[in-house]
Chain A
C-alpha cells in the first residue's frame, strides 16, 4: 500500500486530521480565547468541503473492505455541505457562556460522527459498515448530552445510546446469521449467493430492524421525538438531516447490492412500514406544540416518503432518494435554522411563542414559511420536485395504491405545516418575540438554505448528475 492509495480515502483522512488539529489548538488556547475555536473550525471545515468537490481518485482498499466511486463521493459531498450549514447555524448558540470551555468538543464529536458516516457509506463489507455505524452513533450520544447541566439533555443522551445500542445488537445478530449461512462478510460475495432460505430471510429482517431504528421508521421511532426534544437545537438538526441522510444512503446501497435476490420480499416489508411511518408520523405531528418535537415527527413522516424511492428498485428510485435527501437537507435545515436562531436569542421553542412573529421578524418568518412549504412539497420549491420524483419511482415500480396513500399523507402534512405559518402570520399575540438581529454567520447559513430551496428544483443538471452515478437493483 503506497501513499497514493491513502489518497483514495481523502475525505476521512482530512476529517481525522481536522479533529486532531482542533484538539491541539484547543489545548494551546487560554480560557479567555476559547471562542477563537469557532472561526478556526468553520474555516477548516469550509476548506474540507471545497476540497471534497475536487476530482478524487476512486478505488478499493483493504482487500475490498473500503471502496470509493463517483456515487459515494457524491454522498459524502452532500453530507459535507449539510454539516457546513449546521456549523454555520450553531455559532450563536456556541458563543453562550454555558458552552465556554467545551466549544472544541462540539466540533470534535460532530466531525467524529461524520468520519463514521463516511466510512459507513464507503464500506464494502459488513465489518466496515458496523464500525462506521458505531463511530457515527457513540459520539452522537455524547453530543445529545452536550449541555450536561440540563436534565433534558442528559435524558436525551441516555435514551439515544441505549436504544441505538439495542438496535445495533439486533443488527449484529442478523449479521452473524448472514455470516453463518454465507461464510463471508463481503457485500459482493454475499450478494451473489443470498437466497430466500428461511434463516437468511430472518437475518435480513434483523438487519433491517437495526437500520430502521437509525432512520426512525415506525414502529422503531419511539426514541426519536424524545431525543430530538432533549438535545440542543443544533444537535437536533444534525440528527434529523445528516445522520438520517447517511443511514438512508447506506440502506439503499445495501438493499440494492446485497439483498437484491430477495427484493420481492423486502419490498413487501417496506410497503407496510412506509404506510405506517407516513401515517403515524403525520398523525403525531398534528398535536405537537414544541417546535423540535414537531419537526421530529415531520422528519419521521419524511422518512416514510423516502422508503417509496427505495422500493422503486430501479435507477429512478435511487436517483429520487438521493435527490430527495439533498433537498430535504436544505429544507429541514432552513426550518431548524430559524428555530435555532430564535432559541439561541430568546430560549423559546414552543409553537405558541411564534404567534405574531411576522410583525417583528419578517425575514425569519418568510424563510420559515419557505422551508415548511418545501417540506410539504408545494411547487415551485425544491421539495415538490423531490416528492414528485419519489412518487414517480414508486409508480414505475407499480405501487399505485402506495402512491395514493402517500399523496393523502402529503395533504395531511400540509395541514400541520400550515399551522406554523398560521401561527406566525395570523395569530395575534400581545408579546411577540422581540426583533433581533442575527449575526452574519447565521445569516449565511440561512441564505444557503434559501438558495438551495429555490435553485435545486430547477437546476436539472444536479438531478441528471445524480442519475448518471446511481444504479438499479443488480440482477
Chain B
C-alpha cells in the first residue's frame, strides 16, 4: 500500500498546509479564524510525523505517539483560547483583532 504514493507527496501537502496556516494567522482579522490557522499548522505537523513514521521508520511508533499527543494538546489549547475569546467578546462586543487594541506602545 505504501508504495503507491511517494513520501514526497505527503511532505509537499504538509508544507503547503503549514505555510497556509502561517499566512492565515498573519492576515486574518477574526480571532476564531486565527485559531483555525493554528490548527492547520498543527495538523501539518501531524501529517509529517505520521508520514515519516510510516515510510522511514515503520519498526517503531514514536511518530504516531507524538501525533496523538499533539491532537490532545491542540484540543486543550483551543478550549482555553475559545474561553478567552468569549471573554473578549463580552468585554469588547467584537472578536475582530482591529477592535482589540487597548494595549499599544
**What 0/1 pattern do residues 23 to 46 of B give for CB contact below 8 A with A?**
001000001001100100110110
Among B22, B66, B92, find the residue whose CB has the most chain A CB atoms closer than 10 A: B66
**What 0/1 pattern do residues 113 to 157 of A give for CB contact below 8 A with B?**
000000000000011001100100011011001001111101111
In the bound complex, CA of A295 to CA of B52 (Å): 44
**A165 in the interface (beta carbon within 8 A):** yes
Could you say which residues of chain B place their CB within 8 Å of the CB of A138? 73, 76-77, 80
Task: Report A62 CB to chain B, min CB distance, Å.
Answer: 12
Query: Looking at the complex, which one of B56, B80, B91, B104 makes contact with A142 (CB distance below 8 Å)?
Result: B80
Q: A165-B81, A179-B62, A183-B56 are in contact. Are A152 and B102 (CB under 8 A)?
A: yes
Do B103 and A156 touch across chains, with their CB atoms under 8 A apart?
yes
In the complex, residue of chain A having the shortest beta-carbon distance to the beta carbon of B37: A166
Do A134 and B76 touch across chains, with their CB atoms under 8 A apart?
yes
Do A226 and B88 touch across chains, with their CB atoms under 8 A apart?
no
In the bound complex, CA of A184 to CA of B63 (Å): 9
Do A130 and B105 touch across chains, with their CB atoms under 8 A apart?
no
**What 0/1 pattern do residues 164 to 175 of A give for CB contact below 8 A with B?**
011001101101
**A176 in the interface (beta carbon within 8 A):** yes
Do B38 and A162 touch across chains, with their CB atoms under 8 A apart?
yes
Could you say which residues of chain B place their CB within 8 Å of the CB of A142? 80, 83-84
Task: Report B93 CB to chain A, min CB distance, Å.
Answer: 10
In the complex, residue of chain B having the shortest beta-carbon distance to the beta carbon of A176: B48
In the bound complex, CA of A152 to CA of B91 (Å): 9
Do B80 and A141 touch across chains, with their CB atoms under 8 A apart?
yes
Q: A172-B42, A183-B56 are in contact. Are A154 and B91 (CB under 8 A)?
A: yes
Q: A127-B65, A176-B45, A180-B48 are in contact. Are A162 and B81 (CB under 8 A)?
A: yes
Do A169 and B103 touch across chains, with their CB atoms under 8 A apart?
no
Do B87 and A162 touch across chains, with their CB atoms under 8 A apart?
no
Could you say which residues of chain B place their CB within 8 Å of the CB of A179? 48-49, 52-53, 62-63, 66
Do B45 and A180 touch across chains, with their CB atoms under 8 A apart?
no
Query: Chain B: interface secondary structure?
Result: helix
Q: A169-B45, A180-B52, A180-B56 are in contact. Are A148 and B87 (CB under 8 A)?
A: yes
Task: Report B50 CB to chain A, min CB distance, Å.
Answer: 10
Could you say which residues of chain A place their CB within 8 Å of the CB of B104? 226
- Report the contact-size class of chain B (Cβ under 8 Å from the partner): 35 or more
Do B66 and A127 touch across chains, with their CB atoms under 8 A apart?
yes
Do B103 and A158 touch across chains, with their CB atoms under 8 A apart?
no
In the bound complex, CA of A177 to CA of B34 (Å): 24
Do B81 and A185 touch across chains, with their CB atoms under 8 A apart?
no
Do B52 and A155 touch across chains, with their CB atoms under 8 A apart?
no
In the bound complex, CA of A131 to CA of B70 (Å): 9
Could you say which residues of chain B place their CB within 8 Å of the CB of A34? none
Do B81 and A158 touch across chains, with their CB atoms under 8 A apart?
yes
Q: A134-B73, A185-B62 are in contact. Are A176 and B81 (CB under 8 A)?
A: no
**A263 in the interface (beta carbon within 8 A):** no
In the bound complex, CA of A157 to CA of B86 (Å): 12
Query: Looking at the complex, which one of B65, B69, B81, B103 makes contact with A152 (CB distance below 8 Å)?
Result: B103
Do A284 and B105 touch across chains, with their CB atoms under 8 A apart?
yes
Task: Report B100 CB to chain A, min CB distance, Å.
Answer: 5
Could you say which residues of chain A place their CB within 8 Å of the CB of B21? 169
**A441 in the interface (beta carbon within 8 A):** no
Task: Report A142 CB to chain B, min CB distance, Å.
Answer: 6
In the bound complex, CA of A152 to CA of B84 (Å): 12
Do B87 and A177 touch across chains, with their CB atoms under 8 A apart?
no
Could you say which residues of chain A place their CB within 8 Å of the CB of B35? 162, 165
In the bound complex, CA of A158 to CA of B77 (Å): 11
In the bound complex, CA of A370 to CA of B63 (Å): 51
**A61 in the interface (beta carbon within 8 A):** no
Query: Looking at the complex, which one of A151, A172, A180 makes contact with B70 (CB distance below 8 Å)?
Result: A172
Could you say which residues of chain A place their CB within 8 Å of the CB of B42? 169, 172
Query: Looking at the complex, which one of B38, B63, B66 makes contact with A169 (CB distance below 8 Å)?
Result: B38
In the bound complex, CA of A170 to CA of B48 (Å): 13
Could you say which residues of chain B place their CB within 8 Å of the CB of A150? 91
Could you say which residues of chain B place their CB within 8 Å of the CB of A48? none
Task: Report A164 CB to chain B, min CB distance, Å.
Answer: 9
Do A134 and B77 touch across chains, with their CB atoms under 8 A apart?
yes
Could you say which residues of chain B place their CB within 8 Å of the CB of A14? none
Task: Report B96 CB to chain A, min CB distance, Å.
Answer: 12
Query: Looking at the complex, which one of A130, A158, A169 makes contact with B84 (CB distance below 8 Å)?
Result: A158
**A230 in the interface (beta carbon within 8 A):** yes
Do A165 and B44 touch across chains, with their CB atoms under 8 A apart?
no
Could you say which residues of chain B place their CB within 8 Å of the CB of A152? 102-103
**A260 in the interface (beta carbon within 8 A):** no
In the complex, residue of chain B having the shortest beta-carbon distance to the beta carbon of A142: B80
Q: Nearest 10 pairs between A and B by C-beta?
A: A169-B41, A176-B48, A180-B52, A226-B103, A151-B91, A172-B45, A157-B84, A154-B87, A183-B57, A165-B38
Known: A169-B45, A173-B41. 17 other contacts (CB 8 A): A139-B80, A148-B87, A151-B102, A152-B103, A155-B102, A156-B103, A158-B31, A161-B84, A162-B25, A166-B41, A169-B38, A169-B42, A176-B52, A179-B53, A179-B62, A226-B104, A230-B103
Pick 23 A–B contacts, CB within 8 A, sort by A.
A130-B69, A139-B80, A141-B81, A142-B84, A145-B84, A151-B92, A151-B102, A152-B103, A154-B92, A155-B88, A161-B77, A161-B80, A161-B81, A166-B25, A169-B42, A172-B70, A173-B41, A173-B44, A179-B63, A180-B56, A183-B56, A185-B66, A230-B102
